[in-house]
Each structure stands twice: as C-alpha cells, then as structure tokens.
C-alpha cells in the first residue's frame, strides 16, 4: 500500500525543474543566466573549491543540475563508443550512480569534440541524455533506466562525421530531440515516460549544433530552432510549423532569447523583435564585432556578450547594439559565457576563467582563475555554486 501511495505522489508531482536549477544547456531556457547570489569570484586548483570528483572520461557536454543532483555525460574507448551517464550529489560531490551504454551510431567527429557533446537535460525526476552517436536514454534520479532508444537503429541513415552536439530540451512532459544531420534529419518530441515519438518533423539534411529554445506565446509553447534554412518556430504540441525567419540561419552557436527580443548569432549578433506571429520587420541592429565561434552569446544586465575561438571577449549594448569593448585574453573559447550575481564568467579551453564585472561598459576583470584542465562544456550555476566539468573532473566552485 505504501508503494501505491508513493506511486500516486510521484504521479501528481509536477515534472518541472526547480527554481535555481540549471537543468539544460546554458541553464534556464538556454539563457546562461542564474539568479543565484553570492557567486564565487576567485578560485584556483587549490582554492575556492567546495568539492572535486574525478570523471571516468572526457566530454564536451555541460553539467546540468536538478533537484540537488549533478548529471554529467562522458565518452571513452579507442573508438569513443563507450558512453557514460553519471549522477553526483550536488552538495557533497559523491557519485551516486554511473551507467554506461555502447554507442550504436558512428563515432567519427572533429578532434575537438567527442561523443559526449550534447548536454543532457534534467528535471527532478531524472535525466535525459543524448549522445553524438544518436543514442538517447532516460534515467530516473536514482539511476533506474526509464527507457532507451538507438535513434540510428530507428533511422539508419543518420550521419554527421563532424560530430553532433545539439542538446535536447524539455517542454513539460515531452522531450524535444534535435537531430539535424546529413542523413534522415528531424526534430522530434518524445514522451518522457516511454520515449515514444509524439511528433517528428523533417528537417534540412545538413549538420547543425544549435540547441532549440522554448517560448510561451498566447497559450502555445513554441520550439525555436535555427538551422541551415533559417529559424523555424514549431508548435511543441504537435510539431506544426508556426512561423519561420530565413535570416535566422544557425549552425553552431545558439541564439539568446530575452523576453520578446531574440539575439541571433549570425555574422556577429543581430537583434530581432518577436511578436505572437514571429519576427517583426528588420533586425533592430546587427553588430559584426560581437563575434561568436563555438560559443553562444549571452544577454545579461542590458548587455550582450560574445566569446570566440581567437580568445576575444566582446560586449555590446543590448538596446542599441553599440559595441562597448572587444578584448583578447589568452586562449580560445568553446564554452559559452554565463552570468549571475553581477558577474560574467568566460572559460577558455585551457581552463582559465576570466570573471568580468557585468555592470560596466568597460572591460573590468574581477579575477582570472586557472583550473589548469580542459574546459569545453559550458559550466552550470546552481545552489550558489559554479559547476565546472573538465576533461578530468567535475568541480563545485564556491562555499
């Protein structure tokens, strides 16, 4: 009987991320912004670390945090076909469970990336992990396998020999799975309970690393997804196309959505206004100097930030697009800048974080922190901590 009550309680618990979680790529709806306070400013290999736990292998995916659990994916093996999903206690860093899958799709990719490149998405019930091999698994928070699918088994022509990296997102009880590739290309919604397709929509046969964004408009939930043919808004309920915007082409970075403003990482950054029926008129501004490479732009405190592969950090006024500064630091950026508590955090591939003062039109460095390990995935901010996954370990930075 107690099991029955427990089941009923689980069934009626809303499947939502808890406020303060960082449950998907770039956190709350991909904004890269946390509302947490008292975030750390300074740290090093020996200082300012609450906990550090080793990882079994490399990954370029981000850590995600939900219901006080940190989830991380890795990939290993000479063929990079051994896929790992790990869960840690966010307070202590204790590893709670570790599950492995054998990749069923191709493992060819650019040497900078790997098969653990798509960031998982989590809620208080568990985690959904998509890999570049197109293996997709859902685990309950205790490590129980809820379901698993080999998408290459389902759609054998899926292929991207550069490597895939688009991340899934959650819309209530459905998981949105982006699968743009050179073979059977699609975006789909699968139900979170059994992993079955609710809808599946054909997409251009082209590779794409963009992660979908989600917005609510007039009682509808839209999934905004940029790709080779521009930006398309899909109805999350049925996959119907609601509107499109040809100039919203995407391939690697993901746009930033801030209210009814969308900041597209196209030839720098361009800002467009959204109405219920799509993009309104021409872009409000286009600023070529806000250069992105692998990383996605950040909108925080009325400013737009971009970091690129040459080590440039650029900042512009979100209202006018006026470039405020463009400064170079040592290193290259793959991780996207994130922000919270009045600070902007920019992480280089070699593990150096430049902490900038956000409320400034000048390039004001608050601290430069070196962990000395590769950081490719965008870190997470949750519970007043910064969670960084390197190629060797996961760190909780802060107190």
Cβ atoms of 67 and 59 closer than 8 Å: no
Considering the complex, state which of residue 19 and residue 78 has its C-beta at the smaller distance from another protein: 78
Q: How far is the CB of 55 from another protein (least distance, A)?
A: 16
Q: How far is the CB of 232 from another protein (least distance, A)?
A: 23
Q: How far is the CB of 231 from another protein (least distance, A)?
A: 23
Task: Write out the DSSP string of 237-252.
Answer: TT--EEEEETT---SS
Q: How far is the CB of 116 from another protein (least distance, A)?
A: 15
Q: Which ranges constitute the DSSP H helices of 341-397?
A: none
Considering the complex, state which of residue 194 and residue 320 has its C-beta at the smaller distance from another protein: 194
C-alpha–C-alpha distance, residues 349 and 118, integer Å: 17
Considering the complex, state which of residue 21 and residue 81 has its C-beta at the smaller distance from another protein: 81
C-alpha–C-alpha distance, residues 386 and 381, integer Å: 5
Q: How far is the CB of 99 from another protein (least distance, A)?
A: 5
C-alpha–C-alpha distance, residues 393 and 211, integer Å: 25
> Which spans of this chain sit near another protein (rule: CB under 8 A)?
77-79, 97-102, 104, 106, 108-110, 135, 137, 139, 143-150, 153-154, 157, 159-162, 182-183, 190, 194-197, 205, 207
Cβ atoms of 25 and 211 closer than 8 Å: yes
Considering the complex, state which of residue 135 and residue 222 has its C-beta at the smaller distance from another protein: 135
Q: How far is the CB of 65 from another protein (least distance, A)?
A: 22
Considering the complex, state which of residue 115 and residue 190 has its C-beta at the smaller distance from another protein: 190
Q: How far is the CB of 78 from another protein (least distance, A)?
A: 6
Considering the complex, state which of residue 101 and residue 231 has its C-beta at the smaller distance from another protein: 101
Considering the complex, state which of residue 147 and residue 363 has its C-beta at the smaller distance from another protein: 147
Q: How far is the CB of 95 from another protein (least distance, A)?
A: 11
Q: How far is the CB of 96 from another protein (least distance, A)?
A: 10
Look at residue 358 and give its three-state secondary structure: coil
Considering the complex, state which of residue 147 and residue 243 has its C-beta at the smaller distance from another protein: 147
Considering the complex, state which of residue 101 and residue 358 has its C-beta at the smaller distance from another protein: 101
Instruction: Spell out the residues 6+ positions from residue 52 whose beta carbon is closer than 8 angstroms to its own.
Output: 93, 393, 394, 395, 396
Distances (CA, A) of 293 to 73, 95, 104, 268, 312: 23, 33, 29, 9, 10
C-alpha–C-alpha distance, residues 163 and 149, integer Å: 19
C-alpha–C-alpha distance, residues 355 and 397, integer Å: 13
The alpha carbon of 315 is separated from its chain's Cα centroid by a whole number of angstroms, namely 21
The alpha carbon of 285 is separated from its chain's Cα centroid by a whole number of angstroms, namely 25
Task: Please give the backbone phi and psi of residue 369, each rounded to the nearest 5 degrees, phi first.
Answer: -120, 130
Instruction: Spell out the residues 6+ positions from residue 197 whose beta carbon is closer than 8 angstroms to its own.
Output: 188, 189, 190
If you count them, how many residues does the chain have? 399
Instruction: Spell out the residues 6+ positions from residue 12 whose beta carbon is closer than 8 angstroms to its own.
Output: none
C-alpha–C-alpha distance, residues 174 and 152, integer Å: 20
């Amino acid at each position: 009987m107690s099991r029955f009550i427990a089941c009923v309680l689980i069934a009626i618990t809303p499947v939502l991320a808890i406020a303060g979680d960082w449950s998907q790529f770039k956190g709350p709806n991909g904004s890269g912004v946390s509302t947490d306070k008292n975030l750390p400013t300074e740290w090093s290999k020996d200082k300012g670390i609450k906990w550090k736990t080793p990882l079994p292998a490399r990954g370029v995916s981000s850590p995600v945090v939900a219901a006080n659990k940190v989830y991380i994916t890795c990939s290993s093996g000479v063929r990079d076909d051994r896929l790992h999903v790990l869960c840690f206690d966010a307070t202590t860093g204790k590893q709670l469970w570790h599950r492995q899958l054998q990749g069923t799709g191709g493992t060819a990719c650019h040497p900078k990336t790997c098969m653990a490149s798509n960031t998982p998405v989590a809620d208080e019930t568990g985690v959904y992990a998509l890999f570049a091999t197109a293996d997709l698994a859902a685990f309950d928070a205790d490590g129980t396998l809820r379901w698993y699918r080999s998408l290459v088994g389902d759609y054998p022509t899926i292929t991207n020999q550069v490597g895939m990296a688009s991340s899934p997102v959650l819309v209530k009880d459905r998981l949105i799975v982006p699968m743009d590739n050179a073979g059977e290309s699609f975006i789909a919604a699968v139900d979170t309970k059994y992993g079955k397709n609710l809808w599946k929509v054909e997409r251009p046969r082209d590779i794409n690393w963009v992660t979908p964004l989600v917005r609510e408009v007039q009682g509808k939930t839209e999934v905004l997804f940029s790709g080779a043919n521009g930006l398309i808004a899909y109805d999350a309920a049925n996959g119907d196309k609601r509107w499109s915007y040809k100039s919203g082409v995407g391939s690697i970075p993901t746009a930033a959505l801030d209210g009814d403003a969308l900041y597209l990482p196209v030839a720098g950054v361009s800002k467009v206004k959204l109405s219920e029926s799509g993009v309104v008129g021409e872009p409000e501004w286009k600023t070529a100097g806000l250069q992105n490479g692998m990383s996605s732009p950040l909108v925080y405190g009325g400013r737009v930030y971009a970091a690129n592969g040459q080590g440039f950090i650029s900042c512009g006024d979100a209202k006018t697009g006026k470039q405020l500064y463009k400064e170079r630091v040592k290193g290259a950026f793959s991780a996207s800048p994130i922000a919270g508590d009045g600070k902007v955090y920019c992480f280089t591939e070699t593990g150096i974080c430049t902490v900038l003062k956000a409320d400034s039109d000048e390039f004001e460095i608050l601290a430069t922190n070196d962990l000395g390990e590769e950081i490719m995935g965008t870190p997470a901010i949750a519970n007043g901590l910064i969670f960084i996954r390197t190629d060797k370990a996961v760190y909780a930075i802060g107190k």
